[in-house]
Chains A and B, each alone.
Chain A
Amino acid sequence: MAAPKKNGMQTVYFEKPPVIIASASIVGYLEGEGPLGKTFDQVVNDTYYGEKTWEKAEQRMMLETMQKALEKAGLQVKDIDYMLAGDLLNQIITANFTARVLGIPFLGLYGACSTMYEGMALGAMLIEGGFAEKVLVGSSSHYSTAERQYRYPTEMGNQRPMTAQWTVTGAGAAVLAREGSGPVITHATIGKVVDLGQGDAQNMGAAMAPAAADTITCHLKDTARQPDYYDLIITGDLGSYGKKLAEQLVTQDGYDISDRYTDCGILIYSAAQDVHAGGSGCGCSAVVTCGYLMESLKTGKYKRLLGIGTGALLSPCSVQQGETVPGIGHAVVIEMR
């Protein structure tokens, strides 16, 4: 027997859609300078954010973002039933150490750059299932911590190919609740890990595009909707080349999303900032969603959107051992009612 709240292969729907009652975002200098700069709550110009190491700076960013989200929601730490968070660093230390400070029952997530959407989907399920009244969701990334873990020391001189993306420095957090006012989460489509053999770690958009397209197609089939149901379909961090590929793949599946489809990684930086293919990292979809998208929903620019958090599930070790890069995409429908 199919699960009662499941819709088709991979989609769940919420009878009483959980509400995103507050969201917050803190970003780094480059992101603050970008086209979406004004939609973020705070811009931190110092990459160390007054801390001794970049890892500590990232933790401080995540912590303050979560506190800000709570403050905006008018809630205390004790009001939150669960905290769901993750990041890119080994053993998700940013999230773990943030949870150490906050003291909220914590479930750590790793979905690479899709973590924010994984968190929103799970948080909504916890609430719909009656296991929580309020859930705090968040994720973060930091250019320098990601760079030193996945690639080279930051001051090491090298030339990046045009397909390379720039890890967003920033953290986003949202408070989901059973009751309240704000945009609601009506559906979530949990993605599968998809790998079509793309092995170049400098072209992660191409690695994640099949997973994103798979989830988009699956979502549309599961819900029997056409793309025009949504005002906006937005992927997390495919960048300009990955976005094109995802669009092509979805077209091959018989859906035309080209007139309403974009990518957080493309929106967050301007061409003049010379970041090549666009932004990436857990922070990318998190800050764009918690900043720009939430604002757009509140001002009425968009009413219904399909967000797909995309993650490249690689590690430096898997790349060195010659593995290809698997991708994943989790979709969440956010509507303003």
Chain B
Amino acid sequence: MVNINYGVTKMPDNSMPLIKQKQRYMEMVKESTPKPRVLRNVFWAFVVGGLICLVGQFILSFFLARGLSFNEAGAATSTTLVFLAAFLTGIGLYDEVSRFGGAGGIVPITGFANSMVAPALEYRAEGLVFGVGARLFTIAGPVLVWGIVTAWIAGLLYYFFR
């Protein structure tokens, strides 16, 4: 590694070695940085995430009542939710949902849809191939890759130790 001396000669104190200055400054930063409002965030995540699930439940019940089997109704519900999230993303509302609801808006399938549609809209200007095509999975890609890897490991464990 390169010997890094960032040329700090006066800050915060001339006589202090850089490493000490950094330690002292990081403590100042820690003190001044507001704590995330965990309780409030958890509460709204619960409400928003819960509402999305409630909507999902209504849709599921609707499809079941129309005579679909449980598996079919589940698939139809996911599709509908994905469509709704994509639509809300398109008209610029879904980011507000997540801004307010945090994880409540990100974790459900609707958040996943948002993470696909947002880059699709965003990178349209760079063309269909290198814009949308290349960057569609910017956010969702890592989730897919590591989701599949995790599922694969879980599957192996299950196969050997069940």
Contact = CB atoms under 8 A, between A and B. Distances in A.
A161 B25 CA distance: 20
Given A197-B22, A241-B33, A157 B97 contact: yes
Given A160-B99, A163-B34, A194 B125 contact: no
Interface stretch (B60-68, B76-84, B111-119, B150-158): B111-119
B125 A249 contact: no
Contacts of B73: none
Nearest to A156: B118
B72 to A, nearest CB: 29
A119 to B, nearest CB: 23
A158 interface: yes
Contact of B12 (A54, A195, A253): A253
B25 A196 contact: yes
B36 to A, nearest CB: 6
A192 B7 contact: yes
Contacts of A253: 10-13
Interface size class of A (residues with CB under 8 A): 35 or more
Interface of A: 52-55, 148, 152-163, 192-198, 203, 206, 210, 213-214, 217-218, 241, 244-245, 248-249, 252-253, 326
Contacts of B12: 210, 213, 249, 252-253
B26 A155 contact: no
Contacts of A163: 33-34
A326 B22 CA distance: 12
A312 B21 CA distance: 19
A326 B33 contact: no
Given A154-B95, A156-B114, A206 B11 contact: no
A157 B10 contact: no
A203 B95 contact: no
Contacts of B115: 156
A213 B8 CA distance: 11
B25 A154 contact: no
Given A210-B12, A245-B28, A155 B36 contact: no
B107 to A, nearest CB: 11
A331 to B, nearest CB: 14
B13 A252 contact: yes
Contacts of B138: 153
Contacts of A252: 12-13
Interface in B97-154: 97-99, 102-103, 105-106, 111, 114-115, 117-119, 121-123, 125, 138-139
Nearest to A155: B118
B68 to A, nearest CB: 30
B32 A244 contact: yes
Contact of B118 (A154, A159, A203, A210): A154
16 contacts: A153-B121, A153-B122, A156-B95, A157-B97, A157-B105, A157-B114, A162-B36, A193-B7, A194-B6, A196-B8, A196-B22, A198-B25, A214-B11, A249-B25, A249-B28, A252-B12
